[in-house]
Structure 1
Amino acid sequence: MPSDRTSAGDPARTLALLWGLTAEEKPGRRGPRQARSTAEIAMAAISLADAEGVDAVTMRRVAQEIGLSPMALYTYVPGKAELLDLMLDTVYATMPRSAPVDEGWRARAAAVADDNRALYRAHPWVASVSTSRPPLGPGLMAKYEYELRALEGAGLSDVDLDAALTHLLGFVQTCARMGADGRAAQQDSAMTDAQWWAANADLLARVFDAERYPVAARVGAAAGEVYGGAYSADHAYAFGLARVLDGFAALIGENSR
């Protein structure tokens, strides 16, 4: 289970932070102008997560990165939970928006999937964060509106529209997590999948009985020859996305746009 999740902080303070209603901007507030902005803080935290993973993001580390004391950082952001929401909402606001206007729901839905995949590739840590209670900031709302419009007008009820989008995005997130796991394995072992399997081929041959598992032997060999390993993130994504959209087509009907 993911150890990090959004909306884990104080709801009122989080929403105020995401929508720019921080204390220094409220009417009647007097005092020196703050040296940093929440946007700068978010970008520093995102850069740290991109480079070292979300576990590296602490209030102390972010303060160091941006040239503040930890206590000063708390005057901008209440805590780590609220900072994570700010990071996610900032990333969502900058996600690519490439869905075509007039090429039908299938092309638009595929573009939404590709856009989310690009987001996960740029920020791998995002795939590991639980968003069952999403950060309801302007970045998320703009992303949600864009994604819903990809399937708008295809004949789905509002509930089915939301469910279809949830299913599509869940598929992309799963692929992103598996792809990140594969890249981490290659980095940790300093071997590609093909090199790892070649290095362990003799051991596998001693313990694997092809006569006992004939289908596994045949299919595994065929897939391994094509993929250069046990798994191909690109093939899994392309194959799975086509099947997800085929399922939508059965629900929608291919004549809908």
Structure 2
Amino acid sequence: MGRSATPEGDPAHTMELLWGGGTAPISRPRNGKPGLTLDRIVEAAVSVADAEGLDAVSMRRLAAELGVGAMSLYTHVPGKTELVEVMLDRTLSTLEPGDDTDTGWRDRLTAAAHDYFQLLCAHPWMLGVVALSRPVLGPGGMAKYERELRAVEGLGLPDLDMDSVVTLLDSFVAGAARAAVDAAALAARGEADSEWWQSVAPHFEKVFDPERFPLAARVGATAGEHHNAAFSPAHAFEFGLARLLDGVGALIVGSGTGGD
């Protein structure tokens, strides 16, 4: 499931925010503007985080974005810690529920991994607050966890192994997304891998001895030619996911059922 690394905040209030809705306005509309709701606050917070990162999200900034006084936000959410929990869960809730019809476990896990990878790349701020040790305990986080568990239900795996497969998948996807986001950030600053290599290669070739490092020379050249760079986040994700699923397949075979 999605995991949170945010401070604890107020657990009781956080659960109310995660599960209690948030569409009904508490404050009255002013000057024809819609009333303030938790949904509007979360939508504004996610928009700011997507554009500028989570550090840019503050009650003062959100109040300015929404055209309200900062203190009015506290009627809906006690602080940033609780707000981030809701942001995470609402963003996870945008994931597709998954289609289990006429698909095997491998296709189901592949689809779940791709959806989560794309979500993290679209909302890089999530990478700074997701953690394996603290699950996001809202409906969005639970729906994601349920979907991933359904992918391996009925295969003969013990419950602990089912959870471990999901945890392994989430951990891999988060790492792959972080690498992709970092590469995209470098490219956005005009530091694309291909340009970096073009500037470094002439100097590296002067000092590198291929006879001393024959495998590095041969394999590195092949990979560099294939990726047109030293590293391809997309290839790393697809290759790693395939190998991870191979391992899950071996686990299923070892359970004695062989999978579906």
* Same-fold status (TM-score > 0.5): yes
CA distance in 2, matches of 1:163, 1:100: 20
- Per-residue CA shift, 1:22-57, capped at 9, x if unaligned? 8x99xxxxx865721111111111111111111211
CA distance in 1, matches of 2:207, 2:70: 55
Structure 2 counterpart of 1:18: 18
Structure 2 counterpart of 1:237: 237
Return the offset for 1:127: 2.0
- Per-residue CA shift, 1:125-150, capped at 9, x if unaligned? 21222332123111111221122111
CA distance in 1, matches of 2:134, 2:235: 31
Corresponding residue SS for 2:45 = helix
Q: Percent identity?
A: 49
- Per-residue CA shift, 1:61-86, capped at 9, x if unaligned? 12211122221111211111111001
Task: Tell me if the contact between 1:7 and 1:133 (Cα under 8 Å) persists in the aligned partners.
Answer: no
Alignment gaps of 5+ in structure 1:
26-30
CA distance in 1, matches of 2:207, 2:99: 49
Matches within 5 A, 1:1-257: 5-6=5-6, 8-20=8-20, 33=28, 35-131=35-131, 132-188=133-189, 190-253=190-253, 255-257=258-260
TM-score by length of 1: 0.89
Q: How many matched pairs?
A: 247
The farther-off stretch of 38-47 and 197-206 is: 197-206
CA distance in 2, matches of 1:42, 1:163: 31
Q: Which amino acid aligns with 2:259?
A: S
Alignment gaps of 5+ in structure 2:
30-34
Task: Tell me if the contact between 1:99 and 1:107 (Cα under 8 Å) persists in the aligned partners.
Answer: no
CA distance in 1, matches of 2:101, 2:118: 20
Structure 1 ranges of 4+ moved more than 6 A: none
The farther-off stretch of 172-181 and 129-138 is: 129-138
TM-score by length of 2: 0.88
CA distance in 2, matches of 1:81, 1:60: 15
Task: Tell me if the contact between 2:252 and 2:259 (Cα under 8 Å) persists in the aligned partners.
Answer: yes
